[in-house]
Amino acid sequence: MTFRRFRILILLGLLAAALGLTWLEQTMARGWRAPLVVYVTPINGDGSALANATIHALQAEDFSGINAFIERETTRYGVKLSPAMRVTLKPELKAHPPAPPRDGSVLKTIFWSLKLRWWVYQQSGQLLPQLGTIKLYVLYYAPQDGIALQHSLGLQKGLIGVVHAYADPGQSEQNNIVIAHELLHTLGATDKYDAEGKPVYPQGYADSASPQSVPRTEAEIMAGRYLAVNGRAVMPPSLERCVIGAQTAHEINLDEGFRQQFASGR
């Protein structure tokens, strides 16, 4: 065997191993046979004293509302897990994850995704990857009037979420909405809002059976907002006013419950 063929076999073997690990990881996370394993790592996003104080006051229980939401919603689709997720609050991390490309180039985005996954692996301090573990990096910022936070993101490959959150106790409930949204991205859920940030009908509506013109008071979690009486897109005050819609349930592999409840409507 020539060296060239040997090198090709090695590369094919590495590719097969990577694909196998990705499949195994997704199977573990999306099987809904055991609680989701979630690591939350806080990061001071702006170096502010307020973000520092918020991080030092954090407890794993601060994210219990996310578990209650997932437990409630998955139960509606035939999955009964209690708890639905187990959160481990990791020590504060000083390093920041690599920022996504600004221009949205496909090639640059692919390289950034690989770079982020490598960065996450380096932060783990472990030889073997944390298969099946959802890794959420939450960057906290002091609120500034008129300045919006960067867009948060969640990657299915690698089960990685990067969340930009406000270092403000009054924003903790809405921070949890964003965290839950990105967590579901890691399980395969897609966004259900348009370029203006408005929910897409019908899949982006909590109550997709009612006419689009009817005002809502609850949001589909992957839309993140609902249209109020004045037609304005409103972010709900907490996860208690959010639901996992039928399409999202299908995307995150709640298939058994999905078939039971929605097969008649197909």
Asked which of 127, 154, 188 is the last residue of a domain, the reply is 188
4 located within any domain: no
Q: Are residues 209 and 180 in the same domain?
A: no
Q: Are residues 195 and 249 in the same domain?
A: yes
Residue 152 lies in domain: 35-188
| Strand, helix or coil for residue 21 | helix
Q: Are residues 181 and 217 in the same domain?
A: no
Q: Which residues pair with 220 in a beta bridge?
A: 243
Q: What is the pLDDT of residues 64-109, one digit of tens each?
A: 999 999 999 999 998 889 999 999 999 999 999 999 888 778 888 8
Token pair of 232 as six digits: 């304005």
pLDDT at res. 266: 45
Q: Are residues 184 and 226 in the same domain?
A: no
Asked which of 138, 167, 188 is the last residue of a domain, the reply is 188
18 located within any domain: no
Q: Are residues 39 and 168 in the same domain?
A: yes
Q: Are residues 168 and 208 in the same domain?
A: no
The CATH number that applies at residue 85 is: 3.40.390
- For residue 183, what are the contacts with CB-CB under 8 A and spacing of at least 6? 36, 38, 66, 134, 136, 154, 161
Q: Which of 115, 139, 134, 156 is nearest to 58 (CA)?
A: 139
pLDDT at res. 24: 63
What gap in Å lies between CA 26 and CA 21, rounded to an integer? 9
Token pair of 186 as six digits: 């890691």
Low-confidence ranges of the chain (pLDDT < 70): 1, 3-25, 127-129, 256-266
Q: What is the pLDDT of residues 146-156, one digit of tens each?
A: 788 999 999 99
Q: Are residues 132 and 214 in the same domain?
A: no
Number of domains in the chain: 2
Q: Where does the chain show beta strands of DSSP type E? A: 36-44, 85-89, 133-141, 153-155, 160-166, 219-220, 226-227, 233-234, 242-243
3 located within any domain: no
Token pair of 87 as six digits: 């959160």
Q: Are residues 139 and 222 in the same domain?
A: no
Asked which of 171, 188, 205 is the last residue of a domain, the reply is 188
Q: Cis omega (within 30 of 0) on the bond before 83? A: yes
Q: Are residues 72 and 175 in the same domain?
A: yes
57 located within any domain: yes
Q: Are residues 180 and 225 in the same domain?
A: no
Query: Largest Cα–Cα distance of the chain, in whole Å?
Result: 72
10 located within any domain: no
What separation, in Å, do the N-terminal and C-terminal C-alpha atoms of the chain show?
A: 55
215 located within any domain: yes
171 located within any domain: yes
What are the start-end ranges of the H helices in 31-63? Answer: 49-57
For residue 220, the Cα-to-chain-centroid distance in whole angstroms is 14
CB-neighbour burial class of residue 38 (10 A; exposed 0-12, middle 13-18, buried 19+):
buried
26 located within any domain: no
Token pair of 37 as six digits: 């394993």
What gap in Å lies between CA 41 and CA 135, rounded to an integer? 8
Q: Are residues 196 and 95 in the same domain?
A: no
pTM of the model: 0.87
| Strand, helix or coil for residue 94 | coil
